Structure 1
Amino acid sequence: MSEPLLFVDGQFHAPRTPLVSALDHGMTVGDGVFETCELIEGRTFALTRHLRRLERSAFGLGLDAPDESRVRDAVAAVEERWLAQGGGTGRLRITWTAGYGPMGSDRSGGEGTLIVAAGGVRPPGPVRVAVVPWVRNERSPIAGLKTTSYAENVVALALAKAQGAGEAIFGNTRGELCEGTGTNVFLEVDGGFVTPPLSSGCLAGVTRALVLEWAADAGIEVREEALPLASIHEAPYAALTSSTRGMTPIVAVDDREIEAGPLTLRMGEEFHRRSREQLDP
Protein backbone atom coordinates (compact mmCIF):
# COMPACT_ATOMS: atom_id res chain seq x y z
CA MET A 1 0.00 0.00 0.00
CA SER A 2 1.44 3.37 -1.04
CA GLU A 3 2.50 5.88 1.60
CA PRO A 4 -0.20 8.51 2.29
CA LEU A 5 0.14 11.88 0.58
CA LEU A 6 -0.56 15.16 2.36
CA PHE A 7 -1.06 18.48 0.54
CA VAL A 8 -1.58 21.66 2.58
CA ASP A 9 -1.06 25.32 1.66
CA GLY A 10 0.07 24.46 -1.85
CA GLN A 11 2.82 22.06 -0.77
CA PHE A 12 3.36 18.38 -0.06
CA HIS A 13 4.39 17.41 3.45
CA ALA A 14 5.39 14.20 5.19
CA PRO A 15 2.25 12.49 6.58
CA ARG A 16 3.20 13.07 10.23
CA THR A 17 4.25 16.71 9.80
CA PRO A 18 2.39 19.00 12.27
CA LEU A 19 0.72 21.61 10.05
CA VAL A 20 -2.64 22.67 11.48
CA SER A 21 -2.93 24.96 14.49
CA ALA A 22 -3.97 23.27 17.71
CA LEU A 23 -6.64 25.98 17.86
CA ASP A 24 -8.04 25.25 14.42
CA HIS A 25 -11.80 25.04 14.91
CA GLY A 26 -11.83 21.74 13.07
CA MET A 27 -9.64 20.40 15.88
CA THR A 28 -11.21 22.05 18.92
CA VAL A 29 -14.91 21.55 18.14
CA GLY A 30 -15.09 19.55 14.90
CA ASP A 31 -16.12 22.64 12.92
CA GLY A 32 -15.41 21.40 9.43
CA VAL A 33 -16.59 19.29 6.52
CA PHE A 34 -14.97 16.69 4.31
CA GLU A 35 -15.34 14.40 1.33
CA THR A 36 -13.82 10.99 0.72
CA CYS A 37 -13.49 10.02 -2.95
CA GLU A 38 -12.30 6.91 -4.74
CA LEU A 39 -9.08 7.12 -6.73
CA ILE A 40 -9.38 5.03 -9.89
CA GLU A 41 -6.01 4.60 -11.60
CA GLY A 42 -4.92 7.81 -9.92
CA ARG A 43 -7.94 9.88 -10.91
CA THR A 44 -10.70 11.06 -8.60
CA PHE A 45 -14.08 9.51 -9.28
CA ALA A 46 -17.20 11.73 -9.31
CA LEU A 47 -15.23 14.79 -8.20
CA THR A 48 -17.89 17.28 -9.28
CA ARG A 49 -20.59 15.53 -7.26
CA HIS A 50 -18.29 15.42 -4.25
CA LEU A 51 -17.52 19.12 -4.55
CA ARG A 52 -21.23 19.96 -4.75
CA ARG A 53 -21.82 17.99 -1.55
CA LEU A 54 -18.83 19.64 0.13
CA GLU A 55 -20.42 23.01 -0.65
CA ARG A 56 -23.80 21.89 0.71
CA SER A 57 -22.21 20.59 3.89
CA ALA A 58 -20.23 23.82 4.36
CA PHE A 59 -23.30 26.00 3.86
CA GLY A 60 -25.32 23.78 6.18
CA LEU A 61 -22.66 24.26 8.84
CA GLY A 62 -22.61 28.01 8.24
CA LEU A 63 -19.17 28.06 6.60
CA ASP A 64 -18.14 29.72 3.38
CA ALA A 65 -17.28 26.98 0.90
CA PRO A 66 -13.67 26.84 -0.32
CA ASP A 67 -12.87 28.26 -3.73
CA GLU A 68 -13.56 25.43 -6.18
CA SER A 69 -10.59 26.16 -8.42
CA ARG A 70 -8.30 26.03 -5.39
CA VAL A 71 -9.69 22.64 -4.42
CA ARG A 72 -9.46 21.27 -7.95
CA ASP A 73 -5.85 22.45 -8.26
CA ALA A 74 -4.95 20.72 -4.98
CA VAL A 75 -6.72 17.53 -6.05
CA ALA A 76 -4.88 17.55 -9.39
CA ALA A 77 -1.52 17.95 -7.64
CA VAL A 78 -2.26 14.99 -5.36
CA GLU A 79 -3.45 12.87 -8.28
CA GLU A 80 -0.23 13.49 -10.21
CA ARG A 81 1.97 12.67 -7.22
CA TRP A 82 -0.11 9.57 -6.48
CA LEU A 83 0.39 8.33 -10.04
CA ALA A 84 4.10 9.21 -10.01
CA GLN A 85 4.72 7.09 -6.92
CA GLY A 86 2.88 4.14 -8.45
CA GLY A 87 -0.29 4.43 -6.44
CA GLY A 88 -3.19 2.28 -7.64
CA THR A 89 -6.71 2.29 -6.31
CA GLY A 90 -6.98 4.49 -3.28
CA ARG A 91 -8.96 7.14 -1.48
CA LEU A 92 -8.64 10.91 -1.63
CA ARG A 93 -9.92 13.06 1.21
CA ILE A 94 -10.74 16.76 0.99
CA THR A 95 -11.09 18.48 4.38
CA TRP A 96 -12.24 22.06 4.89
CA THR A 97 -12.42 23.60 8.36
CA ALA A 98 -13.36 26.98 9.81
CA GLY A 99 -9.65 27.64 10.47
CA TYR A 100 -8.12 29.27 13.54
CA GLY A 101 -10.72 30.05 16.16
CA PRO A 102 -11.57 30.36 19.85
CA MET A 103 -11.62 27.40 22.22
CA GLY A 104 -15.42 27.47 22.34
CA SER A 105 -18.26 27.28 19.85
CA ASP A 106 -17.94 30.86 18.57
CA ARG A 107 -16.06 31.38 15.31
CA SER A 108 -13.36 33.93 14.57
CA GLY A 109 -14.42 34.36 10.95
CA GLY A 110 -10.86 33.87 9.71
CA GLU A 111 -9.53 32.01 6.69
CA GLY A 112 -10.45 28.35 6.45
CA THR A 113 -8.04 25.43 6.32
CA LEU A 114 -7.91 23.19 3.23
CA ILE A 115 -6.28 19.76 3.40
CA VAL A 116 -6.15 17.21 0.59
CA ALA A 117 -4.75 13.78 1.36
CA ALA A 118 -4.57 10.42 -0.39
CA GLY A 119 -3.85 6.91 0.76
CA GLY A 120 -4.29 3.27 -0.07
CA VAL A 121 -7.48 1.35 0.55
CA ARG A 122 -8.19 -2.34 0.93
CA PRO A 123 -10.28 -3.92 -1.84
CA PRO A 124 -13.97 -3.91 -0.88
CA GLY A 125 -15.70 -7.15 -0.10
CA PRO A 126 -18.72 -8.67 1.64
CA VAL A 127 -19.26 -7.23 5.09
CA ARG A 128 -20.83 -8.22 8.39
CA VAL A 129 -22.79 -5.47 10.14
CA ALA A 130 -23.94 -4.88 13.71
CA VAL A 131 -26.95 -2.78 14.66
CA VAL A 132 -25.84 -0.42 17.42
CA PRO A 133 -27.99 0.87 20.31
CA TRP A 134 -27.48 4.56 19.49
CA VAL A 135 -29.58 6.56 17.03
CA ARG A 136 -29.19 9.26 14.41
CA ASN A 137 -31.15 12.42 15.18
CA GLU A 138 -32.92 13.18 11.91
CA ARG A 139 -33.85 16.62 13.30
CA SER A 140 -30.27 17.59 14.16
CA PRO A 141 -28.96 20.80 12.52
CA ILE A 142 -26.16 18.72 11.00
CA ALA A 143 -28.31 15.77 9.88
CA GLY A 144 -27.25 14.78 6.38
CA LEU A 145 -24.07 16.89 6.47
CA LYS A 146 -20.63 15.31 6.14
CA THR A 147 -18.87 17.05 9.01
CA THR A 148 -15.62 16.35 10.83
CA SER A 149 -17.62 15.79 14.03
CA TYR A 150 -17.17 12.03 13.69
CA ALA A 151 -16.72 10.77 17.25
CA GLU A 152 -20.18 9.18 17.24
CA ASN A 153 -19.15 7.06 14.26
CA VAL A 154 -15.83 6.11 15.84
CA VAL A 155 -17.56 4.79 18.97
CA ALA A 156 -20.22 2.92 16.98
CA LEU A 157 -17.70 1.31 14.62
CA ALA A 158 -15.52 0.24 17.54
CA LEU A 159 -18.49 -1.55 19.10
CA ALA A 160 -19.33 -3.22 15.79
CA LYS A 161 -15.76 -4.43 15.36
CA ALA A 162 -15.71 -5.76 18.93
CA GLN A 163 -18.66 -7.90 17.85
CA GLY A 164 -16.84 -9.18 14.76
CA ALA A 165 -18.54 -6.86 12.28
CA GLY A 166 -17.05 -4.44 9.79
CA GLU A 167 -19.73 -1.73 9.90
CA ALA A 168 -22.26 -0.36 12.38
CA ILE A 169 -25.88 0.35 11.46
CA PHE A 170 -27.94 3.16 13.01
CA GLY A 171 -31.65 3.64 13.37
CA ASN A 172 -33.07 7.11 13.92
CA THR A 173 -35.20 8.62 16.69
CA ARG A 174 -38.38 7.37 14.96
CA GLY A 175 -37.17 3.77 15.02
CA GLU A 176 -36.47 3.74 11.30
CA LEU A 177 -33.49 2.27 9.46
CA CYS A 178 -31.04 5.08 8.73
CA GLU A 179 -27.40 4.41 7.68
CA GLY A 180 -23.99 3.07 8.60
CA THR A 181 -21.08 5.06 10.00
CA GLY A 182 -19.83 5.80 6.49
CA THR A 183 -22.29 3.93 4.30
CA ASN A 184 -25.83 3.92 2.97
CA VAL A 185 -28.02 0.82 3.26
CA PHE A 186 -30.00 -0.93 0.52
CA LEU A 187 -32.35 -3.86 1.04
CA GLU A 188 -33.50 -6.27 -1.65
CA VAL A 189 -37.28 -6.48 -1.32
CA ASP A 190 -39.80 -7.95 -3.79
CA GLY A 191 -37.34 -8.05 -6.68
CA GLY A 192 -36.04 -4.51 -6.26
CA PHE A 193 -34.01 -2.23 -3.99
CA VAL A 194 -35.35 -0.12 -1.14
CA THR A 195 -33.21 2.46 0.66
CA PRO A 196 -34.03 4.93 3.46
CA PRO A 197 -35.00 8.43 2.25
CA LEU A 198 -32.87 11.45 3.10
CA SER A 199 -35.59 12.48 5.57
CA SER A 200 -34.41 9.58 7.74
CA GLY A 201 -31.31 11.66 8.56
CA CYS A 202 -28.95 9.61 6.40
CA LEU A 203 -26.19 11.17 4.34
CA ALA A 204 -26.92 11.90 0.69
CA GLY A 205 -24.20 9.52 -0.44
CA VAL A 206 -22.64 10.08 -3.85
CA THR A 207 -22.57 6.33 -4.49
CA ARG A 208 -26.14 6.07 -3.20
CA ALA A 209 -27.30 8.65 -5.75
CA LEU A 210 -25.48 6.91 -8.59
CA VAL A 211 -26.94 3.53 -7.63
CA LEU A 212 -30.42 5.08 -7.68
CA GLU A 213 -29.77 6.41 -11.18
CA TRP A 214 -27.84 3.47 -12.63
CA ALA A 215 -30.14 0.79 -11.20
CA ALA A 216 -33.07 2.47 -12.93
CA ASP A 217 -31.06 2.55 -16.17
CA ALA A 218 -30.42 -1.20 -15.76
CA GLY A 219 -34.12 -1.92 -15.33
CA ILE A 220 -33.86 -2.64 -11.60
CA GLU A 221 -36.70 -1.19 -9.52
CA VAL A 222 -35.35 1.05 -6.77
CA ARG A 223 -37.23 3.27 -4.38
CA GLU A 224 -36.68 5.45 -1.32
CA GLU A 225 -38.94 4.47 1.53
CA ALA A 226 -39.01 4.83 5.31
CA LEU A 227 -38.38 1.40 6.80
CA PRO A 228 -38.56 0.14 10.39
CA LEU A 229 -35.14 -0.64 11.83
CA ALA A 230 -36.24 -4.25 12.21
CA SER A 231 -36.41 -4.57 8.42
CA ILE A 232 -32.65 -5.06 8.23
CA HIS A 233 -33.08 -8.13 10.44
CA GLU A 234 -35.81 -9.48 8.17
CA ALA A 235 -34.68 -8.71 4.62
CA PRO A 236 -33.37 -11.74 2.72
CA TYR A 237 -30.58 -9.68 1.15
CA ALA A 238 -28.94 -6.35 1.96
CA ALA A 239 -26.08 -4.19 0.77
CA LEU A 240 -23.93 -1.18 1.64
CA THR A 241 -22.80 1.62 -0.64
CA SER A 242 -19.98 4.11 -0.19
CA SER A 243 -17.24 5.80 -2.19
CA THR A 244 -14.64 3.21 -1.23
CA ARG A 245 -16.95 0.18 -1.37
CA GLY A 246 -19.10 0.78 -4.43
CA MET A 247 -22.00 -1.57 -3.76
CA THR A 248 -21.07 -4.55 -1.63
CA PRO A 249 -23.21 -7.28 -0.06
CA ILE A 250 -23.99 -7.62 3.63
CA VAL A 251 -23.40 -11.23 4.65
CA ALA A 252 -24.43 -11.03 8.31
CA VAL A 253 -26.64 -8.78 10.43
CA ASP A 254 -25.67 -9.24 14.07
CA ASP A 255 -25.75 -13.03 14.46
CA ARG A 256 -27.93 -13.71 11.39
CA GLU A 257 -25.98 -14.98 8.40
CA ILE A 258 -27.35 -14.07 4.97
CA GLU A 259 -26.23 -14.67 1.41
CA ALA A 260 -25.12 -12.04 -1.09
CA GLY A 261 -28.21 -10.96 -2.99
CA PRO A 262 -28.49 -11.49 -6.76
CA LEU A 263 -29.47 -7.85 -7.43
CA THR A 264 -26.64 -6.64 -5.20
CA LEU A 265 -24.10 -8.70 -7.14
CA ARG A 266 -25.53 -7.52 -10.45
CA MET A 267 -25.59 -3.87 -9.40
CA GLY A 268 -22.12 -4.13 -7.90
CA GLU A 269 -20.76 -5.24 -11.26
CA GLU A 270 -22.77 -2.56 -13.07
CA PHE A 271 -21.46 0.14 -10.74
CA HIS A 272 -17.87 -1.02 -11.18
CA ARG A 273 -18.22 -1.01 -14.97
CA ARG A 274 -19.88 2.37 -15.26
CA SER A 275 -17.58 4.07 -12.77
CA ARG A 276 -14.62 3.02 -14.98
CA GLU A 277 -16.37 4.33 -18.09
CA GLN A 278 -17.55 7.64 -16.60
CA LEU A 279 -14.97 9.21 -14.32
CA ASP A 280 -17.08 12.27 -13.46
CA PRO A 281 -20.72 11.26 -13.97
Structure 2
Amino acid sequence: MSIVIWSGGRLRGEDEAVVTAVDHGLTVGDGVFETCAVHDGRAFALTRHLRRLERSATGLGLPAPDEDEIRAAVAAVLEAGGPEMGRVRITVTAGPGPLGSNRLPAGSERPTVVVVAAPASTARTARVARVPWVRNERSAVAGLKTTSYADNVVALAYAAERGADEALFANTVGDLCEGTGSNVVVEVGGELLTPPLSSGCLAGITRELMLEWCAADGMPVRESAPGELRMEVLDDVLAGRAQLALTSSTRNVQPVANLDGTDVGPGELSVQAQKLFETRLADDVDP
Protein backbone atom coordinates (compact mmCIF):
# COMPACT_ATOMS: atom_id res chain seq x y z
CA MET A 1 0.00 0.00 0.00
CA SER A 2 1.53 3.35 -1.04
CA ILE A 3 -0.65 5.83 0.85
CA VAL A 4 -3.66 5.77 3.15
CA ILE A 5 -6.10 8.72 3.14
CA TRP A 6 -8.64 9.85 5.72
CA SER A 7 -11.08 12.71 5.17
CA GLY A 8 -14.63 13.56 6.11
CA GLY A 9 -14.75 11.05 8.95
CA ARG A 10 -13.60 7.94 7.08
CA LEU A 11 -10.82 6.30 5.08
CA ARG A 12 -10.81 7.07 1.36
CA GLY A 13 -9.55 5.38 -1.75
CA GLU A 14 -6.40 6.76 -3.38
CA ASP A 15 -8.41 7.91 -6.43
CA GLU A 16 -11.37 9.24 -4.47
CA ALA A 17 -11.97 13.01 -4.50
CA VAL A 18 -11.73 14.54 -1.02
CA VAL A 19 -11.88 18.32 -1.63
CA THR A 20 -14.03 20.61 -3.72
CA ALA A 21 -12.59 22.66 -6.58
CA VAL A 22 -13.30 25.82 -4.57
CA ASP A 23 -11.54 24.71 -1.39
CA HIS A 24 -9.55 27.73 -0.18
CA GLY A 25 -6.56 25.50 0.49
CA LEU A 26 -6.51 24.66 -3.23
CA THR A 27 -7.35 28.07 -4.69
CA VAL A 28 -5.21 30.35 -2.50
CA GLY A 29 -3.20 28.11 -0.17
CA ASP A 30 -5.36 29.00 2.83
CA GLY A 31 -4.44 26.15 5.13
CA VAL A 32 -2.00 24.71 7.63
CA PHE A 33 -0.36 21.33 8.01
CA GLU A 34 1.93 19.13 10.06
CA THR A 35 4.09 16.15 9.14
CA CYS A 36 5.03 13.58 11.77
CA ALA A 37 7.53 10.76 11.46
CA VAL A 38 6.13 7.34 12.34
CA HIS A 39 7.97 5.01 14.72
CA ASP A 40 6.64 1.62 15.74
CA GLY A 41 3.31 2.41 14.18
CA ARG A 42 2.79 5.69 16.07
CA ALA A 43 3.15 9.33 15.06
CA PHE A 44 6.20 10.79 16.76
CA ALA A 45 5.72 13.87 18.97
CA LEU A 46 2.08 14.08 17.92
CA THR A 47 1.08 16.26 20.87
CA ARG A 48 3.70 18.89 20.03
CA HIS A 49 2.70 18.80 16.37
CA LEU A 50 -0.96 19.31 17.25
CA ARG A 51 -0.07 22.28 19.45
CA ARG A 52 1.80 23.85 16.55
CA LEU A 53 -1.04 23.04 14.16
CA GLU A 54 -3.39 25.00 16.41
CA ARG A 55 -0.91 27.90 16.66
CA SER A 56 -0.58 28.02 12.89
CA ALA A 57 -4.35 27.87 12.39
CA THR A 58 -4.88 30.66 14.91
CA GLY A 59 -2.16 32.75 13.31
CA LEU A 60 -3.77 32.30 9.91
CA GLY A 61 -7.20 33.16 11.28
CA LEU A 62 -8.68 29.66 10.96
CA PRO A 63 -10.80 27.93 13.60
CA ALA A 64 -8.87 25.70 15.99
CA PRO A 65 -8.75 22.14 14.59
CA ASP A 66 -10.60 19.36 16.41
CA GLU A 67 -7.74 17.54 18.18
CA ASP A 68 -9.78 14.44 19.03
CA GLU A 69 -10.88 14.07 15.41
CA ILE A 70 -7.32 14.39 14.16
CA ARG A 71 -5.92 11.91 16.68
CA ALA A 72 -8.58 9.40 15.62
CA ALA A 73 -7.77 10.00 11.96
CA VAL A 74 -4.05 9.52 12.55
CA ALA A 75 -4.70 6.24 14.37
CA ALA A 76 -6.97 5.09 11.54
CA VAL A 77 -4.51 5.68 8.70
CA LEU A 78 -1.61 4.15 10.60
CA GLU A 79 -3.61 1.06 11.51
CA ALA A 80 -4.78 0.67 7.90
CA GLY A 81 -1.32 1.31 6.46
CA GLY A 82 0.59 -1.15 8.60
CA PRO A 83 4.30 -1.21 9.46
CA GLU A 84 5.57 0.23 6.16
CA MET A 85 4.11 3.67 6.96
CA GLY A 86 6.91 6.12 7.78
CA ARG A 87 5.19 9.51 7.89
CA VAL A 88 1.77 11.02 8.42
CA ARG A 89 0.62 14.42 7.16
CA ILE A 90 -2.24 16.37 8.69
CA THR A 91 -3.71 19.14 6.53
CA VAL A 92 -6.42 21.57 7.60
CA THR A 93 -7.75 24.17 5.17
CA ALA A 94 -10.36 26.92 5.39
CA GLY A 95 -12.64 24.69 3.31
CA PRO A 96 -14.95 25.89 0.52
CA GLY A 97 -14.63 29.61 -0.13
CA PRO A 98 -14.63 32.40 -2.70
CA LEU A 99 -12.24 32.24 -5.63
CA GLY A 100 -10.45 35.32 -4.30
CA SER A 101 -8.42 35.73 -1.13
CA ASN A 102 -11.39 36.84 0.98
CA ARG A 103 -12.98 34.19 3.19
CA LEU A 104 -16.54 33.30 4.07
CA PRO A 105 -17.96 35.22 7.05
CA ALA A 106 -16.72 34.09 10.46
CA GLY A 107 -18.80 31.25 11.81
CA SER A 108 -19.79 29.91 8.41
CA GLU A 109 -16.50 28.13 7.66
CA ARG A 110 -16.47 24.42 6.89
CA PRO A 111 -12.79 23.46 7.30
CA THR A 112 -11.39 20.56 5.34
CA VAL A 113 -9.30 18.00 7.24
CA VAL A 114 -7.20 15.45 5.36
CA VAL A 115 -4.81 12.98 7.01
CA VAL A 116 -2.47 10.89 4.86
CA ALA A 117 0.02 8.19 5.84
CA ALA A 118 2.81 7.09 3.50
CA PRO A 119 6.15 5.25 3.54
CA ALA A 120 9.31 7.28 4.18
CA SER A 121 13.05 6.85 4.42
CA THR A 122 15.75 8.96 6.04
CA ALA A 123 19.31 9.43 4.78
CA ARG A 124 22.18 9.73 7.26
CA THR A 125 23.52 12.95 5.71
CA ALA A 126 22.23 15.83 3.59
CA ARG A 127 23.36 17.77 0.54
CA VAL A 128 22.37 21.44 0.63
CA ALA A 129 22.63 24.50 -1.59
CA ARG A 130 22.21 28.22 -1.02
CA VAL A 131 19.43 29.84 -3.01
CA PRO A 132 19.19 33.48 -4.20
CA TRP A 133 15.82 34.13 -2.54
CA VAL A 134 15.07 35.12 1.04
CA ARG A 135 12.61 34.44 3.82
CA ASN A 136 10.65 37.50 4.91
CA GLU A 137 10.86 37.56 8.70
CA ARG A 138 8.23 40.32 8.72
CA SER A 139 5.70 38.36 6.64
CA ALA A 140 2.15 37.97 7.93
CA VAL A 141 2.74 34.21 7.98
CA ALA A 142 6.34 34.13 9.26
CA GLY A 143 6.72 31.21 11.63
CA LEU A 144 3.44 29.58 10.59
CA LYS A 145 3.36 26.19 8.87
CA THR A 146 0.97 26.99 6.04
CA THR A 147 0.15 25.21 2.80
CA SER A 148 1.42 28.22 0.81
CA TYR A 149 4.59 26.43 -0.28
CA ALA A 150 5.35 27.86 -3.72
CA ASP A 151 8.55 29.55 -2.49
CA ASN A 152 9.76 26.20 -1.20
CA VAL A 153 8.88 24.35 -4.40
CA VAL A 154 10.90 26.79 -6.53
CA ALA A 155 13.84 26.86 -4.12
CA LEU A 156 13.99 23.08 -3.77
CA ALA A 157 13.91 22.63 -7.54
CA TYR A 158 16.82 25.09 -7.79
CA ALA A 159 18.75 23.08 -5.22
CA ALA A 160 17.94 19.75 -6.89
CA GLU A 161 19.29 21.04 -10.20
CA ARG A 162 22.59 21.50 -8.35
CA GLY A 163 22.64 18.01 -6.85
CA ALA A 164 21.26 18.98 -3.43
CA ASP A 165 18.28 17.66 -1.48
CA GLU A 166 17.64 20.83 0.53
CA ALA A 167 17.87 24.58 -0.05
CA LEU A 168 19.00 27.17 2.50
CA PHE A 169 17.50 30.65 2.79
CA ALA A 170 18.80 33.88 4.27
CA ASN A 171 16.25 36.34 5.62
CA THR A 172 15.82 39.92 4.41
CA VAL A 173 18.69 41.25 6.56
CA GLY A 174 21.18 38.58 5.50
CA ASP A 175 20.96 36.23 8.49
CA LEU A 176 20.92 32.48 7.99
CA CYS A 177 17.29 31.42 8.37
CA GLU A 178 16.17 27.89 7.42
CA GLY A 179 15.65 25.31 4.70
CA THR A 180 12.51 24.65 2.68
CA GLY A 181 11.39 21.98 5.13
CA SER A 182 14.05 22.00 7.81
CA ASN A 183 15.79 24.07 10.43
CA VAL A 184 19.52 24.57 10.19
CA VAL A 185 22.17 24.06 12.87
CA VAL A 186 25.69 25.47 12.67
CA GLU A 187 28.51 23.83 14.58
CA VAL A 188 31.02 26.58 15.25
CA GLY A 189 33.32 27.56 18.10
CA GLY A 190 32.60 24.34 19.97
CA GLU A 191 28.83 24.95 20.04
CA LEU A 192 25.72 23.96 18.15
CA LEU A 193 23.84 27.12 17.17
CA THR A 194 20.46 27.40 15.47
CA PRO A 195 18.92 30.66 14.22
CA PRO A 196 16.42 32.32 16.57
CA LEU A 197 12.72 32.35 15.75
CA SER A 198 13.02 36.11 15.16
CA SER A 199 14.94 35.24 11.98
CA GLY A 200 11.64 34.12 10.45
CA CYS A 201 12.32 30.41 10.67
CA LEU A 202 9.68 27.89 11.64
CA ALA A 203 9.61 26.72 15.26
CA GLY A 204 10.52 23.17 14.25
CA ILE A 205 9.50 20.32 16.54
CA THR A 206 12.79 18.48 15.98
CA ARG A 207 14.68 21.75 16.49
CA GLU A 208 12.82 22.20 19.79
CA LEU A 209 13.57 18.67 20.96
CA MET A 210 17.22 18.90 19.88
CA LEU A 211 17.66 22.05 21.98
CA GLU A 212 16.01 20.38 24.97
CA TRP A 213 17.65 16.98 24.73
CA CYS A 214 21.16 18.17 23.89
CA ALA A 215 21.09 20.72 26.72
CA ALA A 216 19.86 18.06 29.16
CA ASP A 217 22.75 15.84 28.04
CA GLY A 218 25.27 18.61 28.73
CA MET A 219 26.02 19.43 25.12
CA PRO A 220 26.80 23.06 24.19
CA VAL A 221 23.70 24.01 22.22
CA ARG A 222 21.66 27.22 22.01
CA GLU A 223 19.72 29.63 19.85
CA SER A 224 22.04 32.20 18.32
CA ALA A 225 21.57 35.87 19.06
CA PRO A 226 19.97 37.96 16.30
CA GLY A 227 22.66 38.72 13.72
CA GLU A 228 25.10 36.18 15.17
CA LEU A 229 24.68 33.69 12.30
CA ARG A 230 25.08 35.63 9.09
CA MET A 231 24.63 33.84 5.77
CA GLU A 232 28.41 34.19 5.32
CA VAL A 233 28.90 31.51 7.97
CA LEU A 234 28.34 29.07 5.11
CA ASP A 235 31.65 30.23 3.67
CA ASP A 236 33.22 29.11 6.95
CA VAL A 237 31.61 25.71 6.42
CA LEU A 238 33.22 25.44 2.98
CA ALA A 239 36.56 26.44 4.52
CA GLY A 240 36.24 23.79 7.24
CA ARG A 241 35.93 26.30 10.09
CA ALA A 242 32.31 25.32 10.80
CA GLN A 243 29.93 22.46 10.08
CA LEU A 244 26.21 22.17 9.34
CA ALA A 245 23.30 19.94 10.26
CA LEU A 246 19.59 19.98 9.49
CA THR A 247 16.66 19.12 11.73
CA SER A 248 13.16 18.13 10.67
CA SER A 249 10.54 15.51 11.39
CA THR A 250 11.61 13.38 8.44
CA ARG A 251 15.35 14.01 8.83
CA ASN A 252 15.70 13.98 12.63
CA VAL A 253 19.17 15.50 13.18
CA GLN A 254 21.05 15.12 9.90
CA PRO A 255 24.65 16.28 9.39
CA VAL A 256 25.37 18.02 6.09
CA ALA A 257 27.95 16.31 3.89
CA ASN A 258 27.87 18.59 0.85
CA LEU A 259 27.32 22.34 0.48
CA ASP A 260 26.97 24.03 -2.89
CA GLY A 261 28.48 21.00 -4.63
CA THR A 262 31.51 20.78 -2.34
CA ASP A 263 31.94 17.89 0.10
CA VAL A 264 32.20 19.03 3.71
CA GLY A 265 32.89 16.98 6.79
CA PRO A 266 30.15 16.41 9.37
CA GLY A 267 30.87 17.98 12.74
CA GLU A 268 31.62 15.90 15.83
CA LEU A 269 28.88 17.59 17.84
CA SER A 270 26.41 17.20 14.97
CA VAL A 271 27.01 13.46 14.83
CA GLN A 272 26.72 13.28 18.61
CA ALA A 273 23.40 15.14 18.47
CA GLN A 274 22.16 12.79 15.74
CA LYS A 275 22.90 9.73 17.87
CA LEU A 276 21.40 11.28 20.99
CA PHE A 277 18.20 12.17 19.15
CA GLU A 278 17.81 8.64 17.83
CA THR A 279 18.27 7.24 21.33
CA ARG A 280 15.78 9.61 22.93
CA LEU A 281 13.06 9.14 20.30
CA ALA A 282 13.26 5.40 20.82
CA ASP A 283 12.54 5.96 24.52
CA ASP A 284 9.45 8.17 24.13
CA VAL A 285 7.28 8.40 21.02
CA ASP A 286 5.36 11.45 22.29
CA PRO A 287 7.81 13.57 24.29
TM-score range relative to shorter protein:
over 0.9
- Give the distance between the partners of 2:150 and 2:38, measured in 1 at CA: 25
1:82 CA displacement:
2.1
Give the drift of 1:125.
2.3
Q: Match for residue 274 of structure 1?
A: 280
SS in 2 for 1:272: helix
Structure 2 residue 269 is matched with structure 1 residue 263: yes
Distance 1:116 1:258 in 2: 38
Q: Contact (CA 8 Å) 2:6, 2:115: kept in 1 or not?
A: yes
Q: How does 1:1-281 map to 2 (within 5 A)?
A: 2-83=1-82, 86-88=83-85, 90-108=86-104, 109-225=108-224, 226=226, 227-235=229-237, 236-281=242-287
Equivalent position SS for 2:138:
coil
CA contact (8 A) 1:233 1:253 kept: no
Consecutive unaligned residues of structure 2, counting only runs of 5 or more, are none
The TM-score, its normalising length taken from structure 2, stands at 0.94
8 Å CA contact 2:162–2:261 kept in 1: the answer is no
Letter of the 1:127 counterpart: A
The one-letter code sitting in structure 1 at the alignment partner of 2:249 is: S
Contact 1:215/1:222 (8 A) holds in 2: yes
Q: Residue by residue, what CA displacement relative to the aligned partner does 1:67-105 show, whole Å, maximum 9, x if unpaired?
A: 11111111111121122xx425x1100000000000001
Asked if the contact 2:163/2:261 (under 8 Å) is kept, the reply is no
Q: CA deviation at 1:256?
A: 3.1
List runs of 5+ in structure 1 lacking aligned partners: none
The answer to whether the 8 A contact 1:7-1:116 is kept is: yes
Query: Quick one: which amino acid aligns to residue 280 of structure 1?
Result: D
- CA distance in 2: counterparts of 1:135 and 1:22, whole angstroms: 31
Bigger mean CA deviation after superposition, 36-45 or 254-263: 254-263
Contact 1:34–1:94, Cα closer than 8 Å, also in 2: yes
C-alpha distance after superposition, 1:37-75 (max 9, x if no partner):
000021000000000000000000000111111111111
Percent of residue pairs identical: 53
Bigger Cα displacement from structure 2, 114-123 vs 229-238: 229-238
Q: What amino acid is the match of 1:107?
A: R
Query: For the residues of structure 2 that align with 1:175 and 1:204, how far apart are their CA atoms?
Result: 19
Could you tell me how far apart the structure 1 residues matched to 2:15 and 2:64 are? 26
RMSD over equivalenced CA pairs, Å: 1.0
Q: Distance in 2 between matches of 1:124 and 1:278?
A: 22
Measured against aligned partners, the alpha-carbon deviations of 1:11-51 in whole angstroms (never above 9, x if no partner) come to 11122322200100000000000000000021000000000
8 Å Cα contact 1:97-1:112 kept in structure 2: yes
Aligned residues: 277
Moved more, 3-12 or 46-55: 3-12
**How far, CA to CA, are the matches of 1:101 and 1:80 in structure 2?**
33
CA drift of 1:255 comes to 3.2
Deviates more, 1:153-162 or 1:233-242: 233-242
The normalised TM-score by structure 1 is: 0.96
Note if contact 1:38-1:92 (Cα within 8 Å) is conserved in structure 2: yes
Note the alpha carbon deviations across 1:228-278, whole angstroms, 9 max, x for none: 111122132110000011001111211332111111111111101111111
Task: Name the CA distance, whole Å, in 2 between partners of 1:230 and 1:255.
Answer: 17
| 2:71 partner SS | helix
